[in-house]
Structure 1
Amino acid sequence: MNDYDIAVIGAGAAGLAAGLRLQGSGKSVIVLEARDRIGGRAFTDTATLGLPFDCGAHWLHAADQNPFTKIADRLGFAYNSRISWADVIRFGPGGPLPDEVQAEAVDEVVAALDRIGAAGATGLDVPFSDRLDPASRWNPLIRNIIGQITSHEAENCSTLDYARYVEEGGDFPVEAGYGALVARNAEGLAVTLGTPVTHVDWSGPRVRLETPRGVVTASSIILAVPINVLIAGAIRFTPALPAQLVEAFHDCPMGVSEKLAILLDRPIEGLGHLYGDVIDLSGKRAPFNLHVNPFGRPLLVSHLAGANGLNIERARDDEVMALALDAMEDAFGASIRKRVVRMLRTHWASDPYTRGGYSHAKPGRAASRLLFSEPVGDRIVLAGEHCSIPHYSTVQGAHLSGIAAGEKALKLMG
């Protein structure tokens, strides 16, 4: 814990990728992580429910282009490459909605997302909400799905930022857990855990990092922490970071993305591994997302995002369970209440080392993301999903940004 060529702050997917890139470079490197584990928002909990559950990242997004698809193949991690629209079911009171209603829901969701993407593709940087049909009865579902995609409300998301995102190539869940895959890929990388950086002093000839375990100095640093941690000022900088960069952080904040997992006594009968939503067409209750029987496991998982996710994150356990049970009863009948064994819920929004879900640019501010690719004062390099234009909000975006950050840090050293 003293002097290094390069210090990496954060051991999420971005920091781990940076550390791996710097291995064998001939430079002295330290990777500092505030938590007592690696992976950041890519974390597979195997203890609470007695089976793998991804508390955060779950999908191999854009799988054909995602480097973790090949990493999974190399390390022997299985993933489901067969998920399609046929595996998405909308439930209402009494079970699955009629086929024609299911089809209408799919058509409306796809049309809305197409309108949002088309607006951004023409260069328009306006709110998603500008492209929603106010007369559509499916707006609650569409907004819920937008929340899952962006972790924000439709009014707070840029169409241009969305249009720059690359999503082709499938979205595949990882059987043993995406977080477990990220951790396995980083085996052998030395990470100093339980060491939050509280102050970065880059006023002198070397960057000075203050931690509860002592001071670290380095020629340059890679700042691989979630953007909401930077917005909150959890790390103090001397001198302060450039005002334009700080403004850009506020232009691309993380929203709210929480998960709720309910362990059952056995899988739901008659259904395979599928995704869906429980919908109250009267509009009295927000749609309740469900991932049913993941990989044949006795689990129901709900992804709760945006304003709804924030309300859930702040609610008591009994309140969350009551909401979940009402939705589950609509979908599967009253007997489902007796089959609940245990519940696990996440608290990313209030976690001091995360403070949210994932980033999305505000309307009119998509260009701000471009600032994150430039080193600060030839001393500080940024990394994280917020730094990726085509793959923001994803593990692969963080991973690729970490590799790029490692290369930039080496270039700064000459």
Structure 2
Amino acid sequence: MLDSIVVGAGAAGLTTARELARSGLSVRVLEARDRVGGRAWTESLTFGVPIDRGCAWLHSAEQNPWAPYARAHGFTVLERPPDWGQRIGRERLSAAQRARRDADWDRAAEAITAAAAAGRDVPVSTVLPDDLEFRPHFDAIMSWWMGVDTHELSTVDFAASDDSETNWAVAEGLGAVVASAARGLDVELACPVSAIDWSGRRIRVTSPRGMLECQAVVVTVPTTLLARGEPRFTPALPPEYEEAFAGLPLGLANKVFLEVEDGALPFEGTTNFIASGTTVRTTSFSVRPAGHDVLLAYFGGGYARELERDGALVAAAREELARLFGADFERRIRRTTATAWAGDPWARGSYSAAKPGFARCRATLGRPLAGRVFFAGDACTTQTFGEINGAWESGVAAARGVAAALAERVGSDAA
């Protein structure tokens, strides 16, 4: 019998397993996909350079544990801040425009924070000032940052988000950093867990490979799947956990990567621009992300979901580029590839976003059941949710909880 089983080999699952192994406990990781990393996924086959189809940024980088981990394991951390919000279309915003936009942002943030402080966990859209000049711009940024539109965004979730605004990329890809954490671990791929029976003294975990027994299980499956009963728990989990799964779904962000002819990329160096500042149905472009000669279009929220459903992500990116740079530029696009995270059977979304009224449920997922069933992932933290550092922190917390619970059990048995 194993001391522990971790369900899922994403950032949280691998962090949990590393911490458990470090504390001397036996641990096996069961992963549904044919690769490790989960929603952190770097691939180089499409264009011959690494592209992050999933998460790409070390947010709050100066305090993000993945940054020193990446350096220690030979990855190149690019300690230069992105120039987000400096360009709309082909034009760089003037100092006066940036000042007005920043003032709008401050007023919006103050209104949201005030609502949260008053205990009003309501849609962000309902508390914003009516006279925001840059309201469409603000709404678009929220859809990229939080993965949902402002009418679906919790005021308490937004206010609780702990982000230092220091953002670094990794030249080799953040997904590659996460995947490296699997080295030396006992990981079984293509092994989706269908059932977890915690009714007896031993926990039974069922997958296509059969049934395994353990003393504690850490579940890092996205809440979108848990809400669908994947995997099935016996006995059923308490109602507050089911409420948390339903109230903490994943928002959506999708990416389109475009390879263009040599010399055709707009602007010099690594830079960013927003296609339009007058509508939420727009995209944020990154030129040479992490220093590689590709163009990235970033879509979020309801617009990303609609485009994915209609198979129109690439077309939307091409149309924006043709509008901004002319039909000749569009003809210089060689190859494209797009993500589809809403339809991914093992994710059903991108990153955690509480529904209005349900931000309180994050604390629920941080609590273990009977010292035997633990949860970890970016939904399980109250301040670093939706970010890869949150996955690390929740994984470490779960592993330490398992170690403490098993040590206490050994002590009780000895007594």
Q: Same fold (TM over 0.5)?
A: yes
Which of 214, 219, 227 aligns to 1:223? It is 219
Aligned positions of 1:327-338 closer than 5 A: 327-338=320-331
Give, in whole Å, the separation in 1 of the partners of 2:114 and 2:57. Answer: 25
Aligned positions of 1:266-281 closer than 5 A: 266=262, 268-279=265-276, 281=278
Evaluate the alpha carbon distance shift between residue 315 and residue 13 of structure 1 in structure 2; reply closer, same or farther with a 3 A threshold: same
Which stretch shows the higher mean deviation, 302-311 or 135-144? 135-144
**Residue 213 (structure 1) aligned with residue 206 (structure 2):** no
Evaluate the alpha carbon distance shift between residue 189 and residue 170 of structure 1 in structure 2; reply closer, same or farther with a 3 A threshold: same
3-state SS of paired residue (2:258)? strand
Evaluate the alpha carbon distance shift between residue 238 and residue 54 of structure 1 in structure 2; reply closer, same or farther with a 3 A threshold: same
Kept after mapping to 2: 8 A contact 1:58/1:178: yes
Kept after mapping to 1: 8 A contact 2:171/2:291: no
Note the C-alpha offset of 1:151.
0.9
3-state SS of paired residue (1:385)? coil
Note the C-alpha offset of 1:156.
1.9
Give, in whole Å, the separation in 2 of the partners of 1:71 and 1:227. Answer: 27
Partner of 1:255: 251
Kept after mapping to 2: 8 A contact 1:271/1:293: no
Partner of 1:36: 34
Which of 192, 197, 206 aligns to 2:193? It is 197
Q: How many residues align?
A: 405
Aligned positions of 1:124-163 closer than 5 A: 124-163=120-159
Give, in whole Å, the separation in 2 of the partners of 1:256 and 1:203. Answer: 35
Partner of 2:179: 183
3-state SS of paired residue (2:141)? helix
Structure 1: gaps of 5 or more residues: none
Give, in whole Å, the separation in 2 of the partners of 1:379 and 1:400. Answer: 19
Which of 364, 373, 376 aligns to 2:357? It is 364
Q: Deviations over 1:16-58 (max 9, x none)?
A: 0111001143332111111111111111011122211111111
Give, in whole Å, the separation in 2 of the partners of 1:98 and 1:334. Answer: 25
Partner of 1:310: 305
3-state SS of paired residue (1:275)? strand
Note the C-alpha offset of 1:206.
1.1
Aligned positions of 1:56-95 closer than 5 A: 56-84=54-82, 86=83, 88-92=85-89, 95=90
Q: Deviations over 1:96-154 (max 9, x none)?
A: 25525455445434542343234334544222112323343532221111111211121
Which of 293, 297, 301 aligns to 2:296? It is 301
- RMSD across aligned positions (CA): 2.0
**Residue 245 (structure 1) aligned with residue 255 (structure 2):** no
**Residue 408 (structure 1) aligned with residue 401 (structure 2):** yes
Note the C-alpha offset of 1:380.
0.3
Which stretch shows the higher mean deviation, 23-32 or 174-183? 23-32
Q: Deviations over 1:312-371 (max 9, x none)?
A: 11122xx33332122112333332112111111111111111111111222222211111
Q: Deviations over 1:291-329 (max 9, x none)?
A: 11224422121221110010111122xx33332122112
**Residue 352 (structure 1) aligned with residue 339 (structure 2):** no
Give, in whole Å, the separation in 1 of the partners of 2:226 and 2:103. Answer: 39
Structure 2: gaps of 5 or more residues: 408-415
Partner of 2:411: none
Evaluate the alpha carbon distance shift between residue 96 and residue 400 of structure 1 in structure 2; reply closer, same or farther with a 3 A threshold: same
Partner of 1:289: 284
Partner of 1:6: 4
Give, in whole Å, the separation in 2 of the partners of 1:48 and 1:110. Answer: 41
